[in-house]
């Protein structure tokens, strides 16, 4: 009976406690409503608590935050000012005051608040974070004011573009800020903005950038104070620092902050419900950011580990995003069963783009194109982005639905005019559909004009090789069969014959056929076969040729394991590692090669390029100087060694030595045009522009029809912003030629425009019109009109381009913007329809 009475008593006490919890005027009841987002209800409860106990600082603190979130800022700040004098609440109250003023766009009041803040508050992590929040808010306010001013003082479209440049400049590193500012000021000058206004804008840019720098410093201090135990964890600091590093493309730095954010323990914030909620939300965002970063860097296992740290039922506000990223990570690791478990579980609940695409890609990787097709169709229907279009196009191509594949690859090729891969896939689909004339004309036309019209370029070689094979297999041109090909077709299982045939294909850059040979022999040649070493070496060379450097390294290592004394695979591995930025691996192979073949002529150049790649021009110069000394001086050195030494000295700022080096090369008797042009470009880089240009012009004029050579020079001058030299080089070639090259016209027009020679620029556009390159010409003129505020002319140009069947997506977008600004609804609808058709 006594035990029963005890139990009943405990139940009564528990019920009484629960009743008190939810009685009006109890602090916990207010906190419960605060946590549920019922700020108005929470304020009522806190008011009753304070009415009965005016000294309850916790109720006052949460009442202030609830008031701020209910947009009653002044009332909130009154409470917070009272709390700021209490040491326990001072840093957090200060932070809330700053946030309140910024949220109500009263930056100056926030500035006054931080100017009188006590040092003791900013020695706490939360107080330091408040300083960072203010400076970041100050930068944003200045950026907004700058955008408003630019739209007022500059033509709307150009003002919007400069505003975007300004936003990037404000968040740029200090090293990049000056260059970005100069670009903005140059555009303001072109827009004829008053000089005094430009000076004011320059000052505002600097002030906003300084504010961002101050914010970074305070956020970093806050994080450091939190680590040292001087205050609570600062999720907002890590989040803002991570975003800035992400914007600046500093992957390692952003990873540090995302990991620090994810690693914050919420239990450390259990005494501050507002910071707990904010940190919980930012941790979820930081986890997504970290996962995306790791997946983009192909660190898939780390991504899986990060995602698995969080239980499936506790993945924040967007669990689907975590699942989608986790599925991508499993896919990257080849863990298809785990990827499919996530994908199928999600698809059973809702039909989403990402999961459909992953499911389709799984089937496609196994050649199950029929199964992949409906998933790709669903993904594309909901989101017409490039990888979705490409996946569906490849599926249709594999299923021999050539008409659909041709249409999709045509869309991709048009939207990505620099991609020879899409062009050739379009051709392959047309060939499959027996549209042989159209396929041939597509390739021939591509080889006549940029970006593939330059002989020797990658795109030119790929299209030329495909065209030759296309003509051969379709009996559209006579072609001899080589003995290696005949032997291979007779016995494709003979790996030695296959390897020799592959070498022949690589020498002729016939990568299409080479790919088929590699696919047949790379994984099927047994290690016991006498040709295994040669097969791995040749397949590695093929992988390098098609840009698969990691795969090439793997194959070269297999060759090395078979014959570790052979130098060729080690050279191949070093080159593949260098192409991936793995300079440590490259140096290791160089050290082994120095023991194997110390006198190999390939070693010095390889050492030079590795040193230059890792940002060590002094070491590169020493390597090349040592070679020079062994050759008895610069006059006896090969051209490549001289150029390498010149580039190294340029990188170390020793321009006078570069000038002397070039002068030692007996330029008066030099006949090799490529060497003469390279020496001229070295002089230009070294500051001897007149002498360098004379040398370049001498060798270019020897054969002005060599488009590749002229384009190389023009591209380098353009890259260095030597526009006056561009004009001096190209003007005689273009103006005196009966049929000037399109690429030369483009580079000359670019230089005219950069120099503000508007009439000459428009003349170049007219030359393009005369040559039938109407689409490019109309786009140039429209962009020029936009830059000079003649926006209504763009509509007339769009109409003319439409009549000439020369409309492009870029011109349509420009015209659409103008139509919207002019409230011309009929034109706008017309342009939108045409964009959809494109």
In this predicted structure, the answer to whether residue 239 has a pLDDT above a threshold of 80 is yes
Grade residue 480 by pLDDT with cuts at 50, 70 and 90: very low
- Taking the C-alpha atoms of residue 595 and residue 576, their distance in angstroms, rounded to an integer, is 20
Give the phi and the psi of residue 348 in degrees, each rounded to 5.
-70, -20
pLDDT at 453 (0 to 100): 72
Stretch 33-53: mean pLDDT? 87
Q: Is the peptide bond before 470 cis (omega within 30 degrees of 0)?
A: no
Please, what sign has the CA dihedral across residues 823, 825, 831, 837? positive
In angstroms, rounded to a whole number, what is the distance separating the alpha carbons of residues 777 and 133? 48
Looking at residue 110, the DSSP 8-state letter turns out to be H
Does residue 649 surpass a pLDDT of 90? no
pLDDT for the residue 318: 63
Residue with tokens 């005219």: 752
pLDDT for 536 equals 95
Residue 300 has pLDDT above 60, yes or no: yes
pLDDT (average), residues 359-382: 89
Question: Whole-angstrom Cα distance, residue 62 to residue 278?
Answer: 14
Average predicted confidence (pLDDT) for the chain:
81
**pLDDT: which is higher, 638 or 5:** 638
**162 is written with which tokens?**
């400069």
pTM, rounded to two decimals: 0.47
For the segment 807-813, the average pLDDT, to the nearest whole number, is 79
Q: Which residue has the tokens 């964009």?
A: 835
pLDDT score of 13: 38
User: Are 125 and 161 spatial neighbours (Cβ–Cβ below 8 Å)?
Assistant: no
Residue-wise pLDDT for 246-297, tens only, equals 888 888 999 999 999 999 998 888 888 899 999 988 998 898 899 989 988 8
Architecture category of domain 317-385 in CATH = Alpha Horseshoe (1.25)
- Domain range list for the chain: 1-83, 317-385
- DSSP string for 526-585: -TTSTTHHHHHHHHHHHHHHTT-HHHHHHHHHHHHHH-TT-SHHHHHHHHHHHHTT-HHH
Please say if the pLDDT value at position 332 is more than 80.
Answer: yes
* 23 confidence band (pLDDT: 50, 70, 90): very low
Q: Which of 629, 634, 720, 716 is nearest to 678 (CA)?
A: 716
Q: Are 279 and 265 within 8 A, CB to CB?
A: no
Nearest alpha-carbon partner for 300 in 339, 354, 243, 254: 339
* Lowest-confidence segment of 314-318, 427-431, 646-650 by average pLDDT: 314-318
Top pLDDT among 422 and 380 is at 422
In this prediction, residue 576 has a pLDDT band, given cuts at 50, 70 and 90, of very high
Q: How far apart are alpha carbons 832 and 838 in whole angstroms? A: 10
- The CA distance from 212 to 169, in Å, is 11
Q: Residues with Cβ < 8 Å from 407, sequence gap 6 or more?
A: none
The HSE-up count of residue 667 (CA atoms within 13 Å, CB side) is 21
Task: List, for residues 118-167, the tens digit of each pLDDT value.
Answer: 888 889 999 999 999 999 999 989 888 888 877 777 766 677 777 778 88
Query: DSSP letters of 595-630?
Result: HH-TT-THHHHHHHHHHHHTT-HHHHHHHHHHHHHH
Reading the block at residue 325, the tokens are 């990223």
Q: Do the domains at 1-83 and 317-385 have one common CATH topology?
A: yes
Token pair for 109? 């009041």
Q: Compute the distance between CA of residue 51 and CA of residue 56 in angstroms, rounded to an integer.
A: 10
d(CA 375, CA 355): 9
What CATH number has the domain spanning 1-83? 1.25.40
Q: DSSP for 20-87, please give it.
A: HHTSTT-HHHHHHHHHTT-HHHHHHHHHHHHHH-TT-HHHHHHHHHHHHHTT-HHHHHHHHHHHTTST
Whole-number Å distance between alpha carbons of 230 and 124: 5
For 415, 438, 464, 544, the CA distances from 422, given in Å and listed in that order, are 10, 15, 15, 20
pLDDT over 60 at 373, yes or no: yes
Q: What residue ranges in 368-482 does DSSP mark as E strands?
A: none
Please tell me the predicted confidence (pLDDT) of residue 260.
93
Looking at residue 15, its pLDDT comes to 37
The token pair that represents 667 in the structure block: 């330029």
Angle at 663 between CA 661 and CA 664, to 5 degrees: 70
Q: List the single range of 66-75, 105-114, 619-628, 680-689 with lowest mean pLDDT.
A: 619-628
Whether 107 has a pLDDT exceeding 80, the answer reads yes
Average of pLDDT values for 190-200? 76
Query: Per-residue pLDDT for 65 more than 50?
Result: yes
CA quadruple 287, 293, 298, 301: dihedral, nearest 10: -20
CA–CA separation, 97 and 415 (whole Å): 50
Which two tokens mark 361?
């890609």
Give the residue with greater pLDDT, 604 vs 210. Answer: 210
Report the alpha-carbon distance of residue 273 to residue 279 in Å, rounded: 10
């Amino acid at each position: 009976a006594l035990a029963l009475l005890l139990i009943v008593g405990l139940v009564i006490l528990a019920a009484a406690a629960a009743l008190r919890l939810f009685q009006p005027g109890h602090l916990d009841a207010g906190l419960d409503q605060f946590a549920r987002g019922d700020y108005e209800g929470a304020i009522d409860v806190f008011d009753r608590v304070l009415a009965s106990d005016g000294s309850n600082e916790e109720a006052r603190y949460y009442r202030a935050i609830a008031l701020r979130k209910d947009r009653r800022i002044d009332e909130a700040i009154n409470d917070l000012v009272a709390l700021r004098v209490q040491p326990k609440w001072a840093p957090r109250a200060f932070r809330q005051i700053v946030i309140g003023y910024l949220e109500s766009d009263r930056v100056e009041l926030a500035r006054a608040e931080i100017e009188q803040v006590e040092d003791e508050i900013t020695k706490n992590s939360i107080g330091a974070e408040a300083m960072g929040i203010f400076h970041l808010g100050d930068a944003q306010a200045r950026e907004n004011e700058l955008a408003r001013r630019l739209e007022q003082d500059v033509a709307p479209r150009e003002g919007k573009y400069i505003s975007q440049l300004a936003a990037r400049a404000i968040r740029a590193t200090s090293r990049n800020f000056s260059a970005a500012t100069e670009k903005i000021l140059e555009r303001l000058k072109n827009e004829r903005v008053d000089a005094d206004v430009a000076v004011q804008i320059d000052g505002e840019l600097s002030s906003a950038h300084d504010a961002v720098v101050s914010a970074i410093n305070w956020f970093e201090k806050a994080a450091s104070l939190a680590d040292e135990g001087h205050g609570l964890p600062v999720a907002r600091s890590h989040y803002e620092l991570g975003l800035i590093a992400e914007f600046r493309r500093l992957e390692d730095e952003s990873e540090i902050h995302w990991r620090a954010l994810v690693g914050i323990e919420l239990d450390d914030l259990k005494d501050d419900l507002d910071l707990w909620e904010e940190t919980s939300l930012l941790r979820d965002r930081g986890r997504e950011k970290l996962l995306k970063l790791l997946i983009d860097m192909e660190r898939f296992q780390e991504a899986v580990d990060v995602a698995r740290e969080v239980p499936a039922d506790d993945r924040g506000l967007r669990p689907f995003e975590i699942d989608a990223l986790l599925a991508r990570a499993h896919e990257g690791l080849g863990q298809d069963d785990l990827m499919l478990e996530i994908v199928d579980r999600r698809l059973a609940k809702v039909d989403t783009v990402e999961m459909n695409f992953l499911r389709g890609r799984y089937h496609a990787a196994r050649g199950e194109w029929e199964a992949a097709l409906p998933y790709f169709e669903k993904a594309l229907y909901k989101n017409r982005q490039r990888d979705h279009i490409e996946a569906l196009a490849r599926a249709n191509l594999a299923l021999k639905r050539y008409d659909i594949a041709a249409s999709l690859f045509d869309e991709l090729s048009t939207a990505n005019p620099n991609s020879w891969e899409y062009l050739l896939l379009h051709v392959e689909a047309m060939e499959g559909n027996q549209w042989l004339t159209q396929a041939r004309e597509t390739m021939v036309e591509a080889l006549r004009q940029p970006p593939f019209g330059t002989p020797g370029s990658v795109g030119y070689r790929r299209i030329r090789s495909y065209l030759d094979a296309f003509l051969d297999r379709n009996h559209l041109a006579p072609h001899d069969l080589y003995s290696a090909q005949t032997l291979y077709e007779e016995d494709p299982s003979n790996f030695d014959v296959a390897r020799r045939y592959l070498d022949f294909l690589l020498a002729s850059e016939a990568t299409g056929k080479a790919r088929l040979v590699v696919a047949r022999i790379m994984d099927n040649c047994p290690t016991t076969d006498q040709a295994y070493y040669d097969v791995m070496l040749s397949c590695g060379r093929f992988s390098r040729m098609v840009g698969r450097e990691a795969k090439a390294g793997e194959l070269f290592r297999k060759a090395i394991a078979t014959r570790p004394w052979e130098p060729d695979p080690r050279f191949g591995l070093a080159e593949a590692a260098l192409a991936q930025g793995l300079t440590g691996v490259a140096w290791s192979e160089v050290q082994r090669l120095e023991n194997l073949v110390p006198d190999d002529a390939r070693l010095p150049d390889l050492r030079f390029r590795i040193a230059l790649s890792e940002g060590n021009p002094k070491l590169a110069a020493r390597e090349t100087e040592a070679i020079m000394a062994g050759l008895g001086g610069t006059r006896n050195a090969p051209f490549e060694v001289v150029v390498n030494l010149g580039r190294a000295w340029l990188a170390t700022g020793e321009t006078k030595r570069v000038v002397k080096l070039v002068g030692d090369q007996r330029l008066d008797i030099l006949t090799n045009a490529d060497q003469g042009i390279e020496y001229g470009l070295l002089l230009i880089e070294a500051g001897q522009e007149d002498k360098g240009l004379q040398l370049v012009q001498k060798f270019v004029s020897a054969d002005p029809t060599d488009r590749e050579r002229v384009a190389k020079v023009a591209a380098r001058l353009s890259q260095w912003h030597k526009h006056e030299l561009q004009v001096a080089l190209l003007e005689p070639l273009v103006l005196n030629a009966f049929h000037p090259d399109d690429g030369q016209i483009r580079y000359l027009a670019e230089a005219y425009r950069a120099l503000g020679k508007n009439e000459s620029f428009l003349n170049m556009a007219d030359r393009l019109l005369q040559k039938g390159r109407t689409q490019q010409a109309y786009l140039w003129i429209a962009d020029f009109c936009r830059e000079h505020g003649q926006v209504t002319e763009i509509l007339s140009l769009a109409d003319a381009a439409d009549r000439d069947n020369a409309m492009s997506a870029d011109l349509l977008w420009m015209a659409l913007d103008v139509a919207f600004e002019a409230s011309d609804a009929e034109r706008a609808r017309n342009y939108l329809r045409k964009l959809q058709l494109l």
